[in-house]
Amino acid sequence: MHPLEIIGEWRRRWFGWLPIQKRWERSAKDVAPQQQDDWLLEPINQREASALFPHLSKERAILQYQKMRLHMREQTDRGF
């Protein structure tokens, strides 16, 4: 777990009792990028995948690269 995530959890637990206005729930359509800006729709760069994961086979590197891209999308609260 990243140190900033630990601090964020501590902050939410410690200050959770304060009557602070919570973020609204956003639907997937609200947070989805425009189709021309959606980098997940771009074809996977096999060279980049192999460079990021040189210890894996070509197929496993591509799979891991796609997982990483999905994880990055999730971390930015943009949904899948």
pTM here? 0.52
| Cβ atoms of 35 and 46 closer than 8 Å | no
Confidence bin at 56 (pLDDT 50/70/90): very high
| Cβ atoms of 62 and 44 closer than 8 Å | yes
Confidence bin at 54 (pLDDT 50/70/90): very high
pLDDT in tens, 9-35: 888 787 777 766 666 676 767 767 777
Share of the chain above pLDDT 90, in %: 20
